[in-house]
A and B are shown apart, each in its own frame.
Chain A
């Protein structure tokens, strides 16, 4: 009874306010993005702005329900969520409906949901559960592989649904592993693979090999000069060179021309404003033409006349940039960063390791979405179709993000009850 009575005072209102601001700001921008002279009502439920309002109301109900549920429910039944989610994902692969190339939607009458959105939450819960075990050593290969399997199994199922964007998000769990003890070399290695892969497409491979040998030499010079270490370094170098040539081979021989073109546009090797680069070019035009103060709400010409594809979903940030200008974009980015930092700080104050890990999962997932999505609209990231948390149009993603965040708020409100 004490918990029920006190919840209002013990939930973190900063996060909730940030959440509400983002959600409603998103709704306003969706209205602008889909604005049609024929349907000017903000509450026209045949339009996306009207539908989004329904999703928002449903999301708020879900949030309240989440806050009402006993927090132990989430930490106890993680396997249930996870297992159920995996089954759902398999169902989607076989029964899902294909929407713009991805088979990731399930239909229940009028409503269609995207299980992949909820998979992140279920995975976050099970990772939190697993990582909160006492005497867990993440740097033991066996443990680490177990954790990775839990984190990336859903990602593989999502890849099978041909939804690469959503699958990529699961890399966010590597950040969580890092926070809880995983060696930094794993992240460095991953980043290294990415960088070498891109560079091998951009610059002459033999120059690149030269640079790598030079770096390896420097590294060896300033570390313990043992034979074992030398051998490891040489091995890494060998693997890198092999990797470089296989990337080159894969891109130039295996990929289809249009895929190769997309990669070339992405890494800035070629620009193709009418073809593969169209989205990003129009997105930049929209944002760039907003200037300092923006064109004003509902006055964005790029937005209004549909020059940017997927404007209400993946490219919703264009509307912000065009109509609210640098000022509005700055405020929005500050709000997001504020929310992420707040989640980290709150996670750190948790006594229960489950809650703390879960908090990091939430922050990492939201941050990945934010960084990839806005990076994409600004031409800094590849065009990967994932929503901007809380802003993008879509029921599934809004509900999933809402539940994801509110489970954490619920855990936090409960922190003093626990040992």
Chain B
């Protein structure tokens, strides 16, 4: 009877083998074919923690600290872990209201309920002190140390620039940046971003099922170490910068000073400005809105690089050099001035009262409009009265080698190119071959269509000081150490003017201060070479403009000063430039009453 069922043992053995086989097939799929499980396993236990390096510091040319870092703390939240806490106390500590708290939690949850996101950014060290001892009461919250930029001197805001969180577009373009990362937005912070930021590191931590930290992954074998940002040494002299900003108080305009022998920018002043500490941390957004809303002073506008002005009479030195190079005039070429240059249509370019006739040196010394109208007309008519275009292009090509009409390419963002019009511009305006030298004669005295930036004016001054060449102005002279080669700024840019032609022009510029239009800029023992300018413009009163370099031999400083709508170049720009030269070359200013008068003059609310 029982034998009948003997074969049923094979059912058992078969079932066992079949079950084993099913398990092995399943295991083969789960362990070998599918890869989602291994991914999930690492997602379960690994937490990638970014290590933010300290941003590089910035010093001035004498090693004075301009920008440093201060610890700040981002309050991070992992929404899933937030529970059972005194929300009211938490809000009180962070100075937010309950509504705000819920809103932020909601926002963080939308991003991810189990990944950390920023709840409150940039809590200052002082505020963090109060929070720190109570952090244990707030599960799901933790702080991540970050650094904030700090500025010991409340000056040079535009030049230094500011940092802020990278915007979504940047993040999309550059995979280095993640939401919440800082990036330089303007000034040196922007142009040297890659050096200053250093390199982020990544720590891989292992967490258990309760998200508790269980130590580093594989003893840190896969961690990457953050590299601190590179320190930078600026060519700025902070004392000169501070002094210039003081002099420019309550005035609109700029001062740009360059060391001619190197192209290093000694100061870059734009006024009105703001305290760079305003654009740091939590107060940044509020202050930024306030600054951008100030449409009268436009404090965020960097006039030194972005404002374009007619250069006025300062442009005469450029025209003199071109005329010499074109052999249209010689040092002893004279023109008589009878109060102006007749345009042949009943109008004339007026000139002021001065000795007559004047040679080249005296033309600069007295800033004679008549002289330069004659010279400019002859440059443009060099190939004949009807060959204006050819003559104009010859002139324009010379002027371009002075650094006008194009961006200089310095190491700061936002620079504008100014304008030296192309012939096509006039062709379009007047018709092809329908304009003559007299049509554009106002450019002889730096008026009309020609527009330059203060940095271009200072650069031309440096070029004259160097007798024919310039280095592209730059703000950083040392990368990682006080002095190093800043690539891109070591090439000599030669002008098209032979060095020999500079002497009479420089003599004329010296006479400007000694016995010409700017005798108030005279400095007893230091020979200053300068040129005044009074630029007519459609925006109101004339701009007061002054360019100067000193000393005459072996020049140490070349600068341009622009005071908007202030009147004569002599009145405002000249004494400011003179004081700046004195400050830089002597270290202190003795002419206290001039200084006091300038500091106390308010030309904005006049």
Pairwise interchain contact A333-B20, C-beta atoms closer than 8 A: yes
Pairwise interchain contact A287-B30, C-beta atoms closer than 8 A: yes
Pairwise interchain contact A307-B44, C-beta atoms closer than 8 A: yes
User: A364 CA to B9 CA in the complex, in Å?
Assistant: 12
20 contacts across the A-B interface (CB closer than 8 A): A178-B11, A179-B5, A179-B9, A179-B11, A179-B12, A180-B5, A181-B4, A286-B41, A302-B41, A304-B214, A305-B206, A321-B31, A337-B16, A341-B16, A341-B17, A344-B12, A353-B2, A370-B19, A371-B19, A375-B23
User: A367 CA to B19 CA in the complex, in Å?
Assistant: 9
Pairwise interchain contact B209-A292, C-beta atoms closer than 8 A: no
**Which one, B8, B17, B31, contacts A178 given CB within 8 A?**
B8
Could you say which residues of chain A place their CB within 8 Å of the CB of B2?
180-181, 353
User: A364 CA to B13 CA in the complex, in Å?
Assistant: 11
Q: Which residue of B lies closest to A360 (CB)?
A: B12
Could you say which residues of chain A place their CB within 8 Å of the CB of B13?
341, 344
A278-298 interface bits toward B, Cβ cutoff 8 Å, 1 = contact, 0 = none: 000010111111111000000
* B207, CB-defined interface residue at 8 Å: yes
Could you say which residues of chain A place their CB within 8 Å of the CB of B9?
179, 344, 348
- Interface of chain B, main secondary structure: helix
**For chain B, which range describes its interface: under 10, 10 to 19, 20 to 34, or 35 or more residues?**
35 or more
* B283, CB-defined interface residue at 8 Å: no
Q: Which residue of B lies closest to A367 (CB)?
A: B16
Pairwise interchain contact B209-A307, C-beta atoms closer than 8 A: yes
Could you say which residues of chain B place their CB within 8 Å of the CB of A334?
20
User: A193 CA to B324 CA in the complex, in Å?
Assistant: 112
User: A42 CA to B528 CA in the complex, in Å?
Assistant: 89
- For the complex of A and B, 4 pairs with smallest distance between CB atoms: A288-B37, A289-B41, A305-B208, A337-B20
* B27, CB-defined interface residue at 8 Å: yes
* A301, CB-defined interface residue at 8 Å: yes
Could you say which residues of chain B place their CB within 8 Å of the CB of A336?
20
B410: shortest Cβ distance to chain A, in Å? 53
Pairwise interchain contact B214-A305, C-beta atoms closer than 8 A: yes
**For chain A, which range describes its interface: under 10, 10 to 19, 20 to 34, or 35 or more residues?**
35 or more
B1-44 interface bits toward A, Cβ cutoff 8 Å, 1 = contact, 0 = none: 11011101101110111011011101110111010111011101
* B420, CB-defined interface residue at 8 Å: no
State whether A329 and B19 are in contact (beta carbons under 8 Å apart), knowing that A291-B38, A307-B45 are contacts in the complex: no
Could you say which residues of chain A place their CB within 8 Å of the CB of B32?
291-292, 326
Within A298-342, the residues touching B (CB, 8 Å) are 301-302, 304-307, 321-322, 325-326, 329-330, 333-334, 336-337, 340-341
Within A367-387, the residues touching B (CB, 8 Å) are 367, 370-371, 374-375, 378, 380
Pairwise interchain contact B31-A325, C-beta atoms closer than 8 A: yes
Q: Which residue of B lies closest to A307 (CB)?
A: B209
A4: shortest Cβ distance to chain B, in Å? 32
Could you say which residues of chain A place their CB within 8 Å of the CB of B27?
287, 321, 326, 329-330, 333, 378
Pairwise interchain contact A285-B31, C-beta atoms closer than 8 A: no
A163-180 interface bits toward B, Cβ cutoff 8 Å, 1 = contact, 0 = none: 000000000000100111
Pairwise interchain contact A326-B23, C-beta atoms closer than 8 A: no
**Which one, B6, B24, B206, contacts A333 given CB within 8 A?**
B24
Could you say which residues of chain A place their CB within 8 Å of the CB of B45?
301-302, 305, 307
Pairwise interchain contact B41-A288, C-beta atoms closer than 8 A: yes
A274: shortest Cβ distance to chain B, in Å? 10
Q: Which residue of A lies closest to B41 (CB)?
A: A289
* A363, CB-defined interface residue at 8 Å: yes
Q: Which residue of A lies closest to B10 (CB)?
A: A344
Could you say which residues of chain A place their CB within 8 Å of the CB of B41?
285-286, 288-289, 301-302, 322
- Interface of chain A, main secondary structure: helix
Interface residues of A (CB under 8 A from B): 175, 178-181, 282, 284-292, 301-302, 304-307, 321-322, 325-326, 329-330, 333-334, 336-337, 340-341, 344, 348, 353, 360, 363-364, 367, 370-371, 374-375, 378, 380
A288: shortest Cβ distance to chain B, in Å? 2
Could you say which residues of chain A place their CB within 8 Å of the CB of B207?
305
Could you say which residues of chain B place their CB within 8 Å of the CB of A291?
31-32, 38
Pairwise interchain contact B208-A306, C-beta atoms closer than 8 A: yes
Q: Which residue of A lies closest to B37 (CB)?
A: A288
A380: shortest Cβ distance to chain B, in Å? 6
State whether A326 and B38 are in contact (beta carbons under 8 Å apart), knowing that A181-B2, A305-B45, A305-B207 are contacts in the complex: no
Within B179-209, the residues touching A (CB, 8 Å) are 206-209
User: A325 CA to B27 CA in the complex, in Å?
Assistant: 9
A188: shortest Cβ distance to chain B, in Å? 12
* Beyond A344-B16, A353-B2, 10 extra complex contacts between A and B, CB < 8 Å: A284-B30, A289-B40, A289-B41, A301-B45, A304-B214, A305-B209, A322-B41, A333-B23, A364-B12, A367-B19
Pairwise interchain contact A306-B209, C-beta atoms closer than 8 A: yes
Could you say which residues of chain B place their CB within 8 Å of the CB of A341?
13, 16-17
Q: Which residue of A lies closest to B211 (CB)?
A: A305
Pairwise interchain contact A301-B206, C-beta atoms closer than 8 A: yes
Could you say which residues of chain A place their CB within 8 Å of the CB of B28?
326
User: A288 CA to B27 CA in the complex, in Å?
Assistant: 8
Could you say which residues of chain A place their CB within 8 Å of the CB of B1?
181
Q: Which residue of B lies closest to A326 (CB)?
A: B31
Most chain A CB neighbours (cut-off 10 Å) among B5, B40, B214: B40
Q: Which residue of A lies closest to B22 (CB)?
A: A380
Could you say which residues of chain B place their CB within 8 Å of the CB of A285?
37, 40-41, 44
User: A334 CA to B24 CA in the complex, in Å?
Assistant: 10
User: A178 CA to B14 CA in the complex, in Å?
Assistant: 14
Q: Which residue of A lies closest to B215 (CB)?
A: A37
Could you say which residues of chain A place their CB within 8 Å of the CB of B8?
178-179
Could you say which residues of chain B place their CB within 8 Å of the CB of A307?
44-45, 208-209
State whether A374 and B23 are in contact (beta carbons under 8 Å apart), knowing that A284-B30, A302-B44, A326-B32 are contacts in the complex: yes
Most chain A CB neighbours (cut-off 10 Å) among B8, B13, B27, B206: B27
User: A302 CA to B15 CA in the complex, in Å?
Assistant: 32
Q: Which residue of B lies closest to A375 (CB)?
A: B23
User: A337 CA to B315 CA in the complex, in Å?
Assistant: 100
User: A321 CA to B41 CA in the complex, in Å?
Assistant: 13
User: A289 CA to B28 CA in the complex, in Å?
Assistant: 12
Q: Which residue of A lies closest to B45 (CB)?
A: A301
B201-225 interface bits toward A, Cβ cutoff 8 Å, 1 = contact, 0 = none: 0000011110000100000000000
Could you say which residues of chain A place their CB within 8 Å of the CB of B34?
288
Q: Which residue of A lies closest to B40 (CB)?
A: A285
Could you say which residues of chain B place their CB within 8 Å of the CB of A321?
27, 30-31
A303: shortest Cβ distance to chain B, in Å? 10
Most chain B CB neighbours (cut-off 10 Å) among A289, A322, A364: A289
Q: Which residue of A lies closest to B34 (CB)?
A: A288
B308-345 interface bits toward A, Cβ cutoff 8 Å, 1 = contact, 0 = none: 00000000000000000000000000000000000000
Could you say which residues of chain A place their CB within 8 Å of the CB of B15?
367
Could you say which residues of chain B place their CB within 8 Å of the CB of A286?
41
Could you say which residues of chain A place their CB within 8 Å of the CB of B38?
288-289, 291
Q: Which residue of B lies closest to A180 (CB)?
A: B5
Could you say which residues of chain B place their CB within 8 Å of the CB of A353?
2
Could you say which residues of chain A place their CB within 8 Å of the CB of B42?
289, 301
B400: shortest Cβ distance to chain A, in Å? 66
B314: shortest Cβ distance to chain A, in Å? 73
Q: Which residue of B lies closest to A308 (CB)?
A: B209
A329: shortest Cβ distance to chain B, in Å? 5
User: A302 CA to B44 CA in the complex, in Å?
Assistant: 8
User: A306 CA to B28 CA in the complex, in Å?
Assistant: 24
State whether A378 and B26 are in contact (beta carbons under 8 Å apart), knowing that A287-B31, A307-B44, A337-B17 are contacts in the complex: yes
